[in-house]
RNA sequence: CGGGGCGUAGCGCAGUCUGGUAGCGCACUUGGCUGGGGGCCAAGUGGUCGCAGGUUCAAAUCCUGCCGUCCCGACCA
């Protein structure tokens, strides 16, 4: 490709609307342009990268036994009504009507469509297992699109769906997909981690997210320093500590009229924050008729934070989680926030294991302006085992489950998520096959997503320097960048660069020839920005000795090499 | 959806408080100089000042409403 004929609009200045580095560089290097919030046009250079990502994914999916299909972006409402998701998806789904006033949506995902295909076309256990995938445009009307293509509304996703006769078959495919994802990300030369993930509202036990490590990542991942445990913060649990020892102090009241926060009480009493327990009140599941208060108490150690996803899963707690209103709390507890505690607690209560491990603790007295100290479980508050449940976010330094070392944090960009769907879609859509004995059985399903456009941004997050992008070779839009210095003035430069270009193209090397009549400084700056791995500079200075300058984008220094040696450097 | 910011030329911004001529840098066009890290000089092109309404002799500027967009918090590839 000749740069003089390529739409490659680079920006010298940072665009005002871009904050994260990958977004800035994608705009500056002329990979994308924004059309509207969360909607992006891919320019020629960006699209070349996107296609490379797709190709790697496609090759590895095929290698793993996936069968590629392509399903429509526009989907009829009827399918979504079958699974109840026409309602459940809410505003995230963009809906529309056709000329006959029939309801459609832009597909945010394709479980319904693939299950419909399956039930129409697959009828025998002999055809199982199967794993269909596509690389497709998805539309999700995000609350808050951000970070460029990292969280866009329209984006490209590789989504795969597998169907199985039994759990054992699913497990095999799940494991295969896990390894497939590892291969994909490894080929892209990314630093990544697979972590245990929350399974969301779909259920099932196993679920893994694949995170590309980057400080700008939206997710926190917790991993053990021994490397054997890794989980999304939403899911991560600490090793369960032993229950508290009986304690030595007697329980006593202490006036704390102006101390409403844990920190204030701790400093007033001269005790560490960990010795204080905090009591959070959340709304109860409205369908739980055994709980007239409509509230549930959750007890945490003072220095810990509630994990709202874990809390919303507790029996009798409203999901999604909602904190209780002040007024309701005062009515049920006889005291307001700041003086609450587990002693004589009038509503159902859950206690985090780390809170249950504290002896001689401090807590609110359920009486405004009063706390209790020297409190002990069992003696002062009876707890049964079902009430002790993990509901907090792990913190760095926690012991990992099973004693697998200490937990540390990293930031990650979620680029893949694999999980078990069970039979929720196949059952609600009556997708069945006949088994060996002629019985109709409902297959169990797996789902494997990977954010294709997001991967491009993630790659840049990991591969850039002060001057621009430093593409890993497998994803670079071109392999070789020939920079002809003053080619419009020097016939020698023009001839040499054209000859090398023709030779490289003939050898099948993806080559970009900077044949523009720009000054050298402009060419160098833009070449760094665009980040093509191999760079050859052809100028009169070197040509006198039959030499050109060769440099890897990732190297600091260039070397002089004979013109005829260039192609041997690449590949 | 709640909180905050911003909307003036393709991009980055000033001008708005205190109403009266729409401006700067980059980019773009033409000419010249220059020619190894976004160069210099000169002359140009390009703007319904987000939209609608209002106040006023007069609105980019004041008022009202709407729209767009970005950032921070609850969801997800």
Report the mean per-residue pLDDT for chain A. 93
pLDDT tens digit sequence for A59-116:
999 999 999 999 999 999 999 999 999 988 888 999 999 999 999 999 999 999 999 9
The pLDDT, as a whole number, for residue A123 is 97
- Distance B65 C1' – A28 CA (angstroms): 37
Q: Closest nucleotide to A448's CA, by C1' atom? A: B77
- Distance B72 C1' – A220 CA (angstroms): 17
pLDDT tens digit sequence for A29-55:
999 999 999 999 999 999 999 999 999
User: What pTM value is reported for the model?
Assistant: 0.94
Strand order in the sheet with A361-367: A252-255, A370-375, A361-367
Q: Closest nucleotide to A232's CA, by C1' atom? A: B76
Residue A565 has pLDDT above 60, yes or no: yes
Query: A305 beta carbon < 7 A from strand B?
Result: no
Query: A489 beta carbon < 7 A from strand B?
Result: yes
CB A529 within 8 Å of CB A10: yes
The pLDDT, as a whole number, for residue A125 is 98
Query: A17 beta carbon < 7 A from strand B?
Result: yes
Task: Classify residue A143 by burial, with Cβ atoms within 10 Å: 0-12, 13-18, 19+.
Answer: exposed
pLDDT tens digit sequence for A389-412:
999 999 999 999 988 899 999 999
Q: What count of other Cβ atoms lies within 10 Å of the Cβ of residue A85?
A: 19
Comparing CA positions, the residue from A353, A277, A275 lying closest to residue A310 is: A353
- Distance B37 C1' – A501 CA (angstroms): 23
The pLDDT, as a whole number, for residue A204 is 61
3-state secondary structure of A265: helix
- Distance B32 C1' – A7 CA (angstroms): 29
- Distance B72 C1' – A144 CA (angstroms): 11
Residue A552 has pLDDT above 90, yes or no: yes
Cα–Cα distance for residue pair A536/A498, rounded to 1 Å = 12
- Distance B27 C1' – A13 CA (angstroms): 11
Q: How far apart are the first and last CA of chain A?
A: 18
Chain B positions with an atom below 7 A of a protein C-beta are 1-2, 11-13, 25-27, 34-39, 68-77
List strand B contacts in A 139-168 (CB < 7 A).
140, 142-147, 150-152, 155, 157
List strand B contacts in A 552-571 (CB < 7 A).
558
* Measured CA angle at A140 (ends A63, A75), to 5 deg: 75
Query: A403 beta carbon < 7 A from strand B?
Result: no
Is the preceding peptide bond at A320 cis, omega within 30 degrees of 0?
Answer: yes
Q: Where are the beta strands (DSSP E) in A478-564?
A: 480-484, 511-514, 534-538, 547-552, 559-562
The pLDDT, as a whole number, for residue A201 is 55
Contacts of A27 (CB under 8 A, 6+ apart): A11, A15, A18, A33, A34, A148
pLDDT tens digit sequence for A518-547:
999 999 999 999 999 999 999 999 999 999
List strand B contacts in A 233-272 (CB < 7 A).
none
Query: A415 beta carbon < 7 A from strand B?
Result: yes
- Distance B25 C1' – A455 CA (angstroms): 35
Residue A216 has pLDDT above 60, yes or no: yes
pLDDT tens digit sequence for A246-305:
889 999 999 998 887 888 889 899 999 999 999 999 988 888 888 888 899 999 999 999
Q: Closest nucleotide to A146's CA, by C1' atom? A: B70
The pLDDT, as a whole number, for residue A70 is 98
- Distance B38 C1' – A532 CA (angstroms): 18
pLDDT tens digit sequence for A177-213:
999 999 999 999 999 999 998 776 555 668 999 999 9
Cα–Cα distance for residue pair A307/A312, rounded to 1 Å = 9
Q: At what angle do helices A44-63 and A167-187 cross, to 10 degrees?
A: 140
Query: A85 beta carbon < 7 A from strand B?
Result: no
Query: A310 beta carbon < 7 A from strand B?
Result: no
In this prediction, residue A19 has a pLDDT band, given cuts at 50, 70 and 90, of confident
- Distance B60 C1' – A17 CA (angstroms): 22
Query: A26 beta carbon < 7 A from strand B?
Result: no
Average pLDDT, stretch A438-452?
97
- Distance B22 C1' – A16 CA (angstroms): 22
Q: Closest nucleotide to A159's CA, by C1' atom? A: B77
Cα–Cα distance for residue pair A403/A508, rounded to 1 Å = 53
Average pLDDT, stretch A359-379?
94
Contacts of A454 (CB under 8 A, 6+ apart): A149, A150, A151, A155, A413, A415
Query: A417 beta carbon < 7 A from strand B?
Result: yes
- Distance B76 C1' – A411 CA (angstroms): 16
Residue A211 tokens, joined: 């995170």
- Distance B16 C1' – A493 CA (angstroms): 54
Query: A520 beta carbon < 7 A from strand B?
Result: yes
């Amino acid at each position: 490709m000749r740069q003089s004929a390529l739409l490659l609009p680079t920006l010298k200045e940072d665009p005002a609307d871009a904050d994260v580095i990958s977004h800035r560089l994608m705009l500056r290097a002329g990979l994308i342009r924004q059309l509207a919030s969360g909607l992006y046009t891919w320019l020629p250079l960006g699209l070349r990268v996107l296609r490379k990502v797709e190709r790697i994914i496609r090759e590895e999916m095929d290698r793993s036994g996936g069968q590629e299909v392509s399903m429509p972006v526009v989907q009829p409402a009827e399918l979504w009504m079958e699974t109840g998701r026409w309602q459940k998806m809410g505003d995230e789904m963009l809906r529309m009507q056709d000329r006959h006033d029939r309801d459609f949506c832009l597909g945010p995902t394709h479980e319904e469509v693939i299950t419909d295909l399956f039930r129409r076309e697959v009828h025998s256990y002999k055809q199982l297992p199967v794993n269909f995938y596509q690389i497709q445009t998805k539309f999700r009307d995000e609350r808050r699109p951000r970070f460029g293509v990292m969280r866009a509304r329209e984006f490209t996703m590789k989504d795969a769906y597998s169907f199985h006769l039994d759990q054992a078959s699913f497990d095999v495919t799940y494991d295969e997909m896990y390894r497939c994802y590892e291969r994909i990300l490894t080929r892209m030369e990314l630093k990544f981690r697979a972590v245990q993930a929350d399974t969301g509202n779909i259920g099932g036990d196993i679920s893994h997210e694949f995170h590309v490590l980057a400080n700008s990542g939206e997710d926190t991942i917790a991993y053990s320093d021994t490397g054997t445990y890794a989980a999304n913060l939403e899911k991560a649990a600490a090793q369960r500590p032993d229950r508290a020892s009986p304690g030595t102090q007697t329980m006593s009241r202490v006036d704390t009229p102006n101390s409403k926060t844990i920190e204030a009480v701790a400093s007033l009493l001269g005790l560490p924050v960990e010795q204080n327990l905090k009591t959070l009140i959340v709304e109860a599941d409205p369908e739980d008729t055994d709980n007239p208060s409509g509230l549930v108490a959750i007890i945490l150690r003072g220095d810990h934070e509630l994990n709202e996803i874990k809390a919303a899963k507790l029996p009798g707690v409203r999901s999604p989680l909602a904190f209780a209103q002040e007024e309701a709390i005062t009515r049920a507890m006889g005291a307001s926030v700041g003086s609450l505690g587990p002693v004589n607690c009038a509503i159902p209560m859950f206690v985090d294991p780390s809170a249950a491990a504290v002896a001689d603790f401090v807590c609110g007295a359920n009486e405004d302006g009063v706390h209790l100290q020297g409190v002990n479980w069992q003696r002062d508050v009876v707890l049964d085992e079902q009430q002790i449940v993990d509901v907090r976010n792990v913190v760095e330094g926690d012991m990992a489950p099973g004693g697998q070392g200490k937990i540390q944090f990293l930031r990650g960009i979620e680029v893949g998520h694999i999980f078990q769907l069970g039979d929720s879609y196949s059952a609600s859509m009556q997708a069945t096959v006949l088994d060996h004995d002629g019985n109709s059985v409902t297959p169990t399903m797996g789902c494997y997503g990977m954010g294709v456009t997001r991967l491009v941004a993630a790659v840049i997050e990991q591969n850039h320097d002060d001057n621009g992008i430093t593409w890993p070779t497998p994803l670079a839009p071109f392999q070789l960048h020939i920079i002809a210095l003053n080619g419009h003035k020097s016939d020698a430069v023009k001839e040499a660069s054209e000859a090398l270009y023709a030779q490289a193209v003939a050898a099948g090397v993806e080559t970009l020839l900077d044949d523009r009549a720009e000054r050298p400084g402009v060419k160098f700056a833009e070449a760094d920005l665009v980040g093509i791995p191999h760079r050859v500079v052809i100028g009169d200075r070197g040509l006198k000795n039959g030499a050109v300058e060769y440099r890897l984008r990732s190297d600091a220094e260039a070397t002089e090499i004979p013109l005829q040696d260039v192609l041997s450097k690449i590949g």
